[in-house]
Amino acid sequence: MIEAILILNKLGLLRFIKIYSDKENQIEREELIKKVFNTLNQSKDTNIIYDFEYLGENRKLVFRLFGTIYIAMILDDLENELAILDYLNVVMQVLDEIFKGVSELHLIVNPEKIYLLVDEMISAGTIIETNKLEIISNYNDKLRDDENYKFFVNK
């Protein structure tokens, strides 16, 4: 299971976080962000898998660097790390397609779109969709439905 997904920049500023564990609290969340960034910052690699302790249990930290953006996932022992490493490419390709060349500014200005996209790909810590075209199609359908809803509510 995916415990958390984080997007950070090279300076350690958090741009997105979604935690699928109900055991953590605000203090643990802040410690998690610091620990993830320190691990990423110490690594010289652009993609790697680390053993990682989270909520008192051994987990794996899988991340990939795309330009100035780190996308990281914390996994339990049951998840396939190499598949997740490949899945991080899918996540970035989807973001790149939606924003027509994703940059850190897109992540700052459009957090609701990032949450919507991640919800299209991952539900309750389980990957539900891996097809890039299907993810984008579902995302566009939800945006269209949302626009129709706003149209009727504002009338």
User: What's the rounded Cα separation, in Å, for the pair 137 and 1?
Assistant: 25
Distances (CA, A) of 63 to 22, 70, 71: 22, 7, 6
Closest among 108, 95, 124, 89 to 16, alpha carbons compared:
108
Rounded Cα–Cα distance for residues 112 and 35 (Å): 25
Q: Mean pLDDT over all residues of the chain? A: 82
Q: What are the boundaries of each domain within the chain?
A: 2-154
Q: What is the DSSP letter of 64?
A: E
Confidence of residue 4 (pLDDT cuts 50, 70, 90): confident
Q: Return the closest-CA partner of residue 63 out of 26, 35, 21, 98.
A: 35
What per-residue confidence (pLDDT) applies to 55?
60
- Single pTM value for the model: 0.80
pLDDT tens for 17-62 read 898 877 666 677 777 788 888 877 777 776 677 777 766 677 888 8
Half-sphere exposure of 137 (CA within 13 A, CB side): 6
- Other C-beta atoms within 10 Å of 78: how many? 6
> Is 2-154 a domain of CATH 3.10.690.10?
no
Q: 110-124, pLDDT tens digit by residue?
A: 888 888 899 889 988
pLDDT tens sequence across 61-78:
888 888 888 898 888 888
Q: What local confidence, expressed as pLDDT, does residue 47 receive?
A: 67
Q: Is the pLDDT of residue 154 over 60?
A: no
